[in-house]
Amino acid sequence: MMHHPKERPGSLSRRGFLLRSAGAAAALSGAGGLLAACGNSTSVPQATGTGGELVGPGGLPLARPDKRVTLPLWEDPIESGLEPETGGTFTVYNYPAYFYKKLLKEFGAKYDVEVQYTPFDNINSGLARLASGAVQPDVMEITPDTLDIGVAGKLIKPLNLDYIPNLQKNIWPQLVDPFYDGGSQYTVPYTCYATGIAWRTDKITEDIAGMEQPWDIFWESQAYKGKVALLSENRETIGMALLRKGITDINTEDATLVNQAVSDLKELYGVCNIKVDDIQYQSVPEGSSWLHQAWSGDMIAGYIYYLPKGTPASALGYWKAEHGKVPVQNDCFAICSTTKKPVLSHIFLNYLLDNGVAYENFVDFNGYQPPLNEIDPESLVKDGVVPEHLANSVLTDADLGTDSLQYGTLTSKGQQLWEDGYSNFLAGGS
């Protein structure tokens, strides 16, 4: 997930696949079976799975682009044909400033509810607070890799797609029935993005897109010392080092590979005094950063909001790898089990998938594109939303597929491995 360009990022508002925070304790009995051993263990207890395969939280199978998962239904969805509830409040639980308030107000006016917007710092702390009862939202944002937690913890409700016709109508076919949530039983997609490289074309002389392995530019950036940065995120940084070496399994739990990737990353200290942050949408247009790992929406947002006067749009450059070598992700929306307005919640999900609403949310506020069929690079360039040379920042349905790459849930051990590797990188030692 990422945060809106206008949001002020801090160390807490980080996009993260596996961000956890010490939120409320989960009194979930999914934890049953873990032993408080009088012991010496540093393993996070592993939920057990069937048949010895790798499983994620709650024993749910790990979804991958080439391994579809249909999640179990822990309750039945609501019946079709019910009338939406009106009156009272309707709470949207999301990252700060990630949904256009004007559109929320319009929804509220149409259905006679007061729409409130409750932010969370990251999905995991949000889920933890939901589990503890500190908040009772109606709908919330969620990502495919935290979806397991929501389902295992019974925090999100199954959907009745009869209320959400826009899903079939407007959304890319591959996300109507995604691999991580077969049949869209719990989620609808919200925004999508890929990870690539953003740079200042007027400061970097190399032709990054033309390089044999563009990720190598980071290791050859001595001339730009102090102006080079990576995303402050354990999956993205280590994943990038893996991709650079041609390893496409970005969900690997092989310690050798991960540790080698971390060693590679550590070389960057000496090369360019590498920094880590998540403000590329602002720092690259403003020139305080010249070379930055970035998500595909960042340069669009940078172009729309942050380009200072006097800096031409052509100064922004973006590259992402070809299909099968580029990580493509998407956010979703789901209905919380604490909702008192389940029908209205379904209608809200339908509302955010409406062509006009999603487009306005994207162009006038968000900067990160929704997976709408009617959006493609040519139409956005024509509308002046995206300059021509940044057309590769726009994704299409063709970017997804069983051979595409996506950061997915890992087992507990895998997550520990990646987190510890990132801690090693962040420690700045030899």
Partner 1 sequence: MTAVAEPRARPRPSTFTRIRGWLRNPWGKPRFLVVFTWAYIAWSIVPVLIAVQFSFNATRSRTIWDSFSTRWYWGDPVDSVWHDPTLRHALVQSFKLAGADVLIAVPLGVLLALGLARWHGRGSGVSNFIMLFPLVTPEIVMGVSLLLVFTQLFTFIHTGTFAQILGHVTFSISFVVVIVRARLFSIGRQYEEAAADLGASPFVALTRVLLPLLTPAIVASAAVVFAISADDFVISQWLSKGGETDTVPIQIYAATRAAPLPSVNAIATIMMVSTLLIVTAGFLTWRVFTRGERRAGKAAEDFGGAFNLT
Partner 2 sequence: MYRRWLWPGFAFPGILWLIVLFVVPFYAVLGVSLGTVDPILFQPVPIWNPLEWNVGWLTEVFNRLAPGGIWFDVGIRTIVYVAVSLAVCLLIGYPVAYYAARHAGRWKGVILILIILPLWISYMMRMLAWVNLLQADGYVNRFLMFTHVLSQPRDWLGGRPSTVILALVYGYIPFLILPLFASLDRIDRSHLEAARDLGASRWSAFRTVTLPLSKTGILGGAVLITLPMFGDYFTPNIVSSSPTTSMIGNQIDLYFHSGPQPTIGAALTIVLAAFLTLLMLYYLWSIHRAQREVGAVGAL
Among 2, 3, 9, 57, binds partner 2 (CB under 8 A): 57
User: Taking a C-beta distance cutoff of 8 angstroms, is the pair 334, 150 a contact?
Assistant: yes
Q: Is 199 helix (H, G, I), strand (E, B) or coil?
A: strand
Among 136, 248, 396, 412, binds partner 2 (CB under 8 A): 412
User: For tokens 């491995």, what's the residue?
Assistant: 417
- Residues touching partner 1: how many (CB under 8 A)? 26
| Contact between 134 and partner 1 per CB under 8 A | yes
CA 352 vs CA 92, 280, 287: distances in Å: 12, 27, 35
x/- string (CB under 8 A) for partner 2, residues 86-105? --------------------
Build a one-symbol-per-residue string for 344-383: x at contacts with partner 2 by CB under 8 A, - elsewhere: ----------------------------------------
Half-sphere exposure of 234 (CA within 13 A, CB side): 23
Name which position in 139, 229, 257, 301 contacts partner 2 (CB under 8 A).
229
How far is it, in rounded angstroms, from Cα 193 to Cα 183?
Answer: 22
Q: Tell me: does residue 120 bind partner 1 (CB under 8 A).
A: yes
| Cβ-based neighbours of 282, under 8 Å, separated by 6 or more | 5, 302, 306
**One of 64, 68, 84, 118 touching partner 1 (CB under 8 A):** 118
Contact 298, 281 (CB under 8 A): yes
41 binds, among partner 1, partner 2, none (CB under 5 to 8 A by kind): partner 2
Beta strands in 320-384 (DSSP E): 328-336
Q: Pick from 52, 210, 246, 308: which binds partner 1 (CB under 8 A)?
A: 308
Closer by beta carbon to partner 2, 286 or else 360:
286
Pairing mode, strands 89-94 and 187-200: unpaired
58 sits near partner 2 (criterion: CB under 8 A): yes
Instruction: State the Cα–Cα distance between residues 352 and 374, nearest whole angstrom.
Output: 15
> Between 12 and 41, how does the x/- string for binding to partner 1 read (CB under 8 A)?
xx--------xxxx----------------
Is residue 8 part of the contact set for partner 1 (CB under 8 A)? yes
Q: Is 212 in the site for partner 2 (CB under 8 A)?
A: no
323 is a site residue for partner 2 (CB under 8 A): no
Contact assessment for residue 139 and residue 35, using Cβ atoms and an 8 Å cutoff: no
Strand partners, 295: 195
Q: Which is nearer to partner 1, 121 or 145 (CB)?
A: 121
Strand spans (E) along 146-219: 156-157, 187-200
Under the binding rule (CB under 8 A), the answer on residue 234 touching partner 2 is: yes
Region of 157-165, 225-233, 316-324, 390-398 interacting with partner 2 (CB under 8 A): 225-233
Q: How far is the CB of 363 from partner 1 (least distance, A)?
A: 17
275 Cβ neighbours under 8 A, 6+ residues apart:
226, 228, 229, 230, 289
Residue identified by tokens 């590769």 is 392
> What residues make contact with partner 1 under the rule CB under 8 A?
8-13, 22-25, 96-97, 118-121, 129, 132, 134, 277, 279, 282-283, 286, 288, 308
